[in-house]
Amino acid sequence: MHGYCGKMLRVDLTSGKIQEEPLEARVIKDYIGGRGLGIYYLNQELDPGVDPLSSENMMVMATGPLTGTGAPTGSRYMVMTKSPLTGAITCSNSGGMFPTQLKKSGLDGIIFTGKSEEPVYLWIEDGRYELRQAGHLWGKTTHETTDQILAETDAKARVACIGPAGERGVLFASIMNDRDRAAGRSGVGAVMGSKNLKAIAVRGSQKIGLADPDGFKAFNKSIIDGFKEATRETPLGLTVNGTAGVVAVTQAYGALPTKNWQQGTFEGWKSVQGATLTEKYLSTNSACFGCPIGCGRKTRVEDPDYHGEGEGPEYETIYAMGPNCMIDNLAAIVKANYVCNELGLDTITMGATLACAMELFDRGYLREEDVGQKLLWGDGRALVDMARKTGYREGFGDVLAQGSYRMAERYGHPELAMVTKKQEFPGYEPRGEQAMGLAYATSPIGGSHMRGDPAYFELFGVPKAMDPLQWEGKARVTKDYQNLSAVIDAAGLCIFFAVRNLAGKELDVPPTGILEYLNTATGLDYTLEELIQASERIINAERKFLNAAGFSKKDDSLPARLTREPMPSGPAKGQVCHLEEMLEEYYQIRNWDGEGRPTRERLKELGLE
């Protein structure tokens, strides 16, 4: 078997039993890997109505066939489970070095079931597996945990772990690997904590076999050459300023969410933009295994009030903790990012939930005695303090730990939570780019841009520019980008695989470049039509799970602020998001009924009936 190891590791945490099981050839061809394998196992084995924090929930960590092969951006793995934040599925992914080590250990992924009586961590080394006691690690930060496990196992191993937030069941706790890389969204860390699983450590030295090594090498060289040009000379500037460079772009289009999404522009944006981060705090950039982009930021803050060093922040962190909270103190944002990484918190939900709390306080719905302090717009000290309190569920942090929807509902104003399916949005305002609203509403994990990112064509012109304020025609291209995202996630690639096109390389929305990679790596001889069909299968399999869990059209929604309240100022002034019009067309294109359910014919056509 080429491109794959051909086996998953099944870990029953209740009994402590660990066993390998083969991957079926049919499943590989139909679901590719990564995200596809995750939803395959969830649909096969998990009751969609299960309590996400019960022992009955399962968690799948899966790589893709291109993970660790040297394909650019090919070092991703997916974590899929039922989310405690949303009640929907998760598709939380991460890069770094951990995914490649997992693949080189001889595994395509791990399936966790049950719950250990005591804290444990899993040690994997080239076909040897061991559950070890982790009581001495419980309560430690992700950095402390990583350092201790490396001392106990192998200094060259890679570790994915949870921090205090995951142990305490914060509903948006993350899994951190390689110290500062996050499988951040939807509360995967809380699920891991509910199972008393502190960490997974891996060390692998096995080679990943390719079906056509020469063909793969030649194609790989042509793609990498395009990357070197694309990542420096495009508006994204990922190598130069990392994703933080996006601040200037969303500000220019009036799509930078500000003051809990009351505005689309931020007066202090220059203080938090990517160029400022690079000038003031960048130590060096960093890259995942085999990636020519190097969008990661190694940073250091000397300011004694916010002193620290680590990785980040990314654009999404800056938006959520900066403009969305009206904070222009970049040092405070960087420090809060460090705190979230060490405690294991999703920075998007953390910042967005605090912004919601600030609006509740501003409007008088939340009082100083409720919080223990004032929560004022622009308060960087409150940001750092509340991030720490949330990770440990101390004081008002225990309320913030529930996410913005539950918090706002508690104080009588759920309409102030900027969420879909109870998950907070990343930093793209749908009134300023219409298709993003449709992408948020129909994402299988709730508010997310990573399950299909319309910003590529609305803000960056890939594969062609479309007016971001126009809603007509956006349903089809959004659906196509979601399909592309499904293939990228399943293959083990990063979404930035697409940035090579910004240098003039041609790639239509169908995953043509990935097709060549998969075929030279796996020898499965996909046709383009088969690969697109696989993406449809993954998305419809996810939708089938959501429908069974009780989700329907009512959940494919946006807050009224975005659909009924015109943008007050900036380039998108006067705009609302035309979700309802786009959603109707989207369902028709997907061959889903009026309630957002795949038709029986569609399920049968995809082998999902």
- pLDDT tens, 166-188? 999 999 999 999 999 999 999 99
Range name among 28-32, 442-446, 495-499, 578-582 with the lowest pLDDT average: 495-499
SS (H, E, C) 160-207: EECCHHHHCCCCCECEEECCCEEECHHHHHHHHHHCCEEEEEEECCCC
Nearest CA-CA partner of 448 in 324, 536, 349, 313:
349
Residues 478 and 566 in one domain: yes
Position with higher pLDDT, 503 vs 14: 14
> Does some domain include residue 303?
yes
Asked if 105 and 125 count as a contact pair (C-beta separation under 8 A), the reply is yes
**Full residue range of the structural domain in which residue 434 is found:** 428-605
The answer for residues whose C-beta is within 8 angstroms of residue 571's C-beta and 6 or more apart is: 252, 253, 254, 264, 265, 432
- Compute the average pLDDT of residues 224-232: 63
> Does some domain include residue 495?
yes
- Note the pLDDT of residue 456: 85
Residues 23 and 49 in one domain: yes
Residues 452 and 402 in one domain: no
Given the DSSP bridges, would you call strands 120-125 and 423-424 parallel, antiparallel or unpaired? Answer: unpaired
- Note the pLDDT of residue 234: 46
Range name among 129-143, 220-234, 410-424, 426-440 with the lowest pLDDT average: 220-234
Nearest CA-CA partner of 584 in 472, 416, 428, 507:
472
- Compute the average pLDDT of residues 487-495: 94
Q: Is the pLDDT of residue 231 over 70?
A: no
pLDDT tens digit sequence for 8-26:
999 999 999 999 999 999 9
- Written as six digits, the tokens of 494 are 């990063």
- Note the pLDDT of residue 499: 64
Residues 68 and 95 in one domain: yes
Burial of 115 (0-12, 13-18, 19+ CB in 10 A): middle
- Of 423, 450, 482, the residue that ends a domain is 423
- DSSP at 509: S
Q: Is the pLDDT of residue 508 over 50?
A: no
- Of 203, 234, 269, the residue that ends a domain is 203
- Note the pLDDT of residue 464: 76
- Compute the average pLDDT of residues 272-300: 93
- Note the pLDDT of residue 175: 98
Residues 523 and 551 in one domain: yes
CATH number (domain holding residue 588): 1.10.599.10
> Does some domain include residue 194?
yes
- Phi and psi angles of residue 258, each rounded to the nearest 5 degrees, phi first: -135, 140
- Note the pLDDT of residue 460: 84
Range name among 194-208, 209-223, 253-267, 578-592 with the lowest pLDDT average: 209-223
Residues 464 and 532 in one domain: yes
Task: Give me the helices (H) in 395-433, please.
Answer: 397-400, 404-410
Question: What is the average pLDDT value for the chain, to the nearest integer?
Answer: 94
Residues 187 and 267 in one domain: no
- Of 405, 423, 441, the residue that ends a domain is 423
- Note the pLDDT of residue 444: 97
> Does some domain include residue 287?
yes
- Written as six digits, the tokens of 584 are 């109707």
Residues 384 and 454 in one domain: no
pLDDT tens digit sequence for 338-383:
999 999 999 999 999 999 999 999 999 999 999 999 999 999 999 9
Residues 466 and 579 in one domain: yes
- Phi and psi angles of residue 116, each rounded to the nearest 5 degrees, phi first: -75, 145
- Written as six digits, the tokens of 123 are 């040690």
Domain count, the chain: 3
The C-alpha torsion from 290 through 309 and 79 to 481, rounded to 10°, is -60
Asked if 95 and 76 count as a contact pair (C-beta separation under 8 A), the reply is yes
pTM: 0.96
Euclidean distance between CA atoms 608 and 210, whole angstroms: 30
Nearest CA-CA partner of 350 in 266, 299, 407:
407
Residues 487 and 342 in one domain: no
Confidence of residue 507 (pLDDT cuts 50, 70, 90): very low
Alpha-carbon distances of 377 from 85, 102, 191, 539, 570, rounded to whole Å: 25, 43, 32, 39, 20
- Note the pLDDT of residue 229: 60
- Note the pLDDT of residue 4: 97
